[in-house]
Amino acid sequence: MKKLLQKIVGKSPWLYRINAGSCNGCDVELATTACIPRFDVERLGCKYCGSPKHADIVLITGPLTVRVKDKVLRVYDEIPDPKVTVAIGICPISAGVFRDSYAIAGPIDSFIPVDVNVPGCPPRPQAIIDGILEAIKIWETRM
Amino acid sequence: MSSFLKIALRNLLKGPSTDPYPFGETFVPKGLRGKIKYNAKACIACGMCEHVCAGGAIQIKETADKSGLEFIVWHNTCAFCGLCEHYCPTKAIRLTEDFHTAHSQEDKYRYVERGFIKYVTCARCATPMVPIAPELMTLAYGQVNKDIEKLRHLCPKCRQKQSLR
């Protein structure tokens, strides 16, 4: 039963995007990965969803600013378990060039358990696809 | 109507425009700024890269046993801005076209590019010093002759004495 579930579930993980105070660079790359036929993340069975309650894989961008911190944690708690978290860009991973700023509460892994990191400023769509593939592998084992 | 059909037929014959990655090969545009590659042999440890690094990704520091300098780039805070490459006088740092950066959380702090510059001793007074790269010699002197080549193995103090003699 578990094996069957793993087989099915790996084919259609739904993606959810959280912007934790990003500059929009990584969000543009995420939109490119999903919406432009050239990169087309839906070939992997992924689909962006609008509600956190439908999400399986969470893509987080941005360094987690102090202002947005509570909202991000609240939205993150709405996502049902099991979930896989992917940090997109150097900001959520290490706060990048904004590190040690008074306006930054991050890096994100001090508040949220992160599973896959995709550094880059911003990462290429292909690198994001790499990260999502890795996340799908983890997602299958969590079932 | 006929023009529409023409376009539809042409698009049909063109094949898919989707990039086959991750199932096939992808394209890499020329000049893509990817992961940093470091060449310890050409490095003169001037520290310029560390100074200009926007994300604070580069660190050059002496090892615990004082046998040399260790160079580290932590890719997880490197913005691929290319300033280090631009300001490196001997071009020891290069940005490659490698964009494969996805890795798991366990490797977060292991995702680094390392280099080690071993100290050499001065030919005259035997103090440890950073070896002088041939790239720096050509940069400073253009043509390197035998007399100048001798200076290469001296520490800054002995070099000063030698040149002022």
In this complex, is the C-beta atom of A37 within 8 Å of any C-beta atom belonging to chain B? Answer: yes
Closest Cβ opposite residue A96 in set B19, B77, B111: B77
Q: Is A56 exposed, middle or buried (0-12, 13-18, 19+ CB in 10 A)?
A: buried
| Set of chain A residues whose Cβ sits within 8 Å of the Cβ of B77 | 90, 93-97, 99, 119
If you write DSSP's letter for every residue of B34-84 in order, what string do you get?
-SEEE-TTT-----HHHHH-SS--EEEEE-TTSSEEEEEEEGGG-----HH
Test B74 with A94 for CB contact under 8 angstroms. Answer: yes
Task: Give percent helix, percent strand, percent coil of chain A, each to the nearest 5.
Answer: 45, 15, 40
Judged by DSSP in three states, B155 sits in coil
Q: In terms of CA atoms, which chain B residue is nearest residue A85?
A: B105
CA–CA gap between residue A1 and residue A39 (Å, rounded): 33
Q: Dig out the tokens for A120 from the structure.
A: 């880059």
Judged by DSSP in three states, B77 sits in helix
In this complex, is the C-beta atom of B26 within 8 Å of any C-beta atom belonging to chain A? Answer: yes
Average pLDDT, chain B: 88
Helix axes A25-35, A125-142, angle to 10 degrees: 80
| Set of chain A residues whose Cβ sits within 8 Å of the Cβ of B80 | 120-121
pLDDT tens-digit series, residues B66-82: 888 999 999 999 999 98
Closest Cβ opposite residue A129 in set B21, B55, B107: B21
**Taking residues A111-139, what's their average pLDDT?**
90
Residue A1 pLDDT greater than 80, yes or no: no
**Taking residues B127-135, what's their average pLDDT?**
88
Instruction: Work out whether strand B128-129 and strand B120-121 pair parallel, antiparallel, or are unpaired.
Output: antiparallel
Residue B147, CB-side half-sphere exposure with 13 Å CA sphere: 3
Q: How many CB atoms lie within 10 A of CB A136?
A: 21
Instruction: Work out whether strand B36-38 and strand B93-95 pair parallel, antiparallel, or are unpaired.
Output: antiparallel
CA–CA gap between residue B72 and residue B109 (Å, rounded): 11
Site from B103, B109, B111 to mutate, A interface, most A CB atoms within 10 angstroms: B103
Test B99 with A123 for CB contact under 8 angstroms. Answer: yes
Q: How many CB pairs under 8 A join A and B?
A: 98
Q: Is A135 exposed, middle or buried (0-12, 13-18, 19+ CB in 10 A)?
A: buried
In this complex, is the C-beta atom of A110 within 8 Å of any C-beta atom belonging to chain B? Answer: no
For residues A106 and A64, the answer to whether their CB atoms sit within 8 Å is: yes
pLDDT tens-digit series, residues A61-95: 999 999 999 999 999 999 998 889 999 999 999 88
List C-alpha distances in Å: A73 to A64, A93, A95, B6, B18.
10, 16, 17, 53, 36
CA–CA gap between residue B20 and residue B13 (Å, rounded): 17
- Is the complex ipTM more than 0.95? no
In this complex, is the C-beta atom of A127 within 8 Å of any C-beta atom belonging to chain B? Answer: yes
| Set of chain A residues whose Cβ sits within 8 Å of the Cβ of B81 | 121
Q: What is the pTM of this model?
A: 0.86
Residue B51 pLDDT greater than 90, yes or no: yes
Phi, psi of A112 (to 5 degrees): -125, 135
pLDDT at B26: 84
Q: How many CB atoms lie within 10 A of CB B165?
A: 5
To the nearest whole percent, how much of chain B has pLDDT over 90? 19
In this complex, is the C-beta atom of A10 within 8 Å of any C-beta atom belonging to chain B? Answer: no
Test B76 with A117 for CB contact under 8 angstroms. Answer: yes
Among B residues 65-124, those touching chain A with beta carbons less than 8 Å apart: 74-81, 99-105, 107-108, 111
H/E element, A139: helix A125-142
If you search the block for the tokens 């940005």, which residue do you land on? B95
Closest Cβ opposite residue A131 in set B26, B81, B102: B102
